[in-house]
Amino acid sequence: MSPQTDTTATTPTHTWQLGDLTVNRVGFGAMRLTGTAPFDRGVPRDRERSIAVLRRAVELGANHIDTAAFYFSATRSANELINRALAPYPEDLVITTKVWPGRDASGAWWWATPAQLRDQVEENLRQLGRDHLDVVNLRVPPSRRPGSIAEHFGALAELRDAGLIRHLGVSNVTSEQLAEAMTISPVVCVQNPYGLGASDNDRALLRRCGELGLAFVPFFAIAGAGREAGPAARDGEAVCAVARAHGVSAAQVRLAWTLQQGPHVLAIPGTGDPDHLAQNMAVGRLRLSEDEMARLTSLEPAARSGPLAVGSGHVA
């Protein structure tokens, strides 16, 4: 069912800038294209279906695709699927990737040294079939929150100066780490977990990005505390009531709430299901009322299953 629009609301801004690149605020995350569960070695998704989903996402207006070289399962690579589906790439398509985490052929996680970041960047270039990357996010590991990221971010800045990268972003960072990165090189986006039940610190960082004119790109906006497991099996009554009022899914309500946190907030929901894709892409037309926003914002901070950890795959 199509989202109902709030015709009395001010027309939202539908695009934002990643440096000099204009993107639609509802994009696409590639993590779930590769398998029935992200980061596992289990049953891969149907290749042609994944390719069709990517092409349909672009047809529906997604010109911002988030990916990573470590998004792969037993026989599928998100980057290679993107290459197969979309190359030669549309001129307005922006592909964002991330480095610092890596996975070996067995699927085991490892973290790059500053000197190894070039290899990770070049791996993304090869898989995507490009001569430069639009945006590269430095994805900070759990053990470095808090802590200095200057050495790694400085290495990426050198690769930007060398022409391998157009713009830089940071991911899974604190406010202090963002400030540190900005003293080294321009930052165009922050990609952090964010959704209903966000903590005060999370909300403060989102607001700070708005003040700085930086894109804030939340992941797990639909999944919440469920993270890689996907949407929660059961949404609370507050979310379900809003969904019923608009004739949409609870996932669409979660995405709409996130987008309405500010015009600088982007969405990168991921799916391998064509029907879910259509719902995700339609959420840009869904406007929640001030009362609905207030009710959802008042929800208690989400309980988390533990710190982001390499072993559990929590690196996206």
* Active-site amino acid positions: 71
Place of tokens 């309500």: 253
Phi and psi at 116, nearest 5°, equal -85, -10
Q: What angle do CA 306, 311, 315 make, to 5 degrees?
A: 75
* Residue 9 per-residue DSSP state: S
Token duo for residue 36: 């029935």
**DSSP H or E segment with residue 191:** strand 189-191
HSE-CB of 275 using CA atoms within 13 angstroms: 3
Q: Which residue has the tokens 């070695």?
A: 41
Helix 290-297 to helix 237-246 angle (10° resolution) is 160
